[in-house]
């Protein structure tokens, strides 16, 4: 009996670069502590990234539990 097809994903395809970008985001938060999204983007140099790459990497990092939003809207790394 053949295996069923994989479930459809709504998160989109990940590429190798997005894992690198996610790592940059997590390291910045681990080093500096919780940050507002605009300040985090500045810290990782997101203005030099391709358009929408920061938001995409941040969304994946949040979805994977590597980053979470604090009650005041800042972003933080667990632990």
Q: What is the pLDDT of residues 29-56, one digit of tens each?
A: 999 999 999 999 999 999 999 999 999 9
Q: Looking at residues 43-72, what average pLDDT do you find?
A: 96
CATH number of 16-76: 1.10.10
**Tokens, residue 8:** 């459809």
CA distance 48 to 38: 14
Task: Judge whether residue 10 has pLDDT over 70.
Answer: no
CA distance 35 to 49: 19
């Amino acid at each position: 009996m053949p295996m069923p097809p994989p479930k459809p994903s709504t998160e989109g395809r990940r590429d190798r670069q997005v894992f690198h970008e996610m790592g940059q985001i997590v390291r910045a938060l681990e080093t500096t502590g919780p940050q507002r999204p605009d300040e985090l983007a500045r810290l990782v140099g997101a203005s030099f990234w391709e358009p929408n790459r920061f938001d995409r990497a941040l969304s994946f990092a949040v979805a994977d539990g590597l980053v979470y939003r604090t009650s005041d809207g800042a972003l933080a790394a667990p632990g």
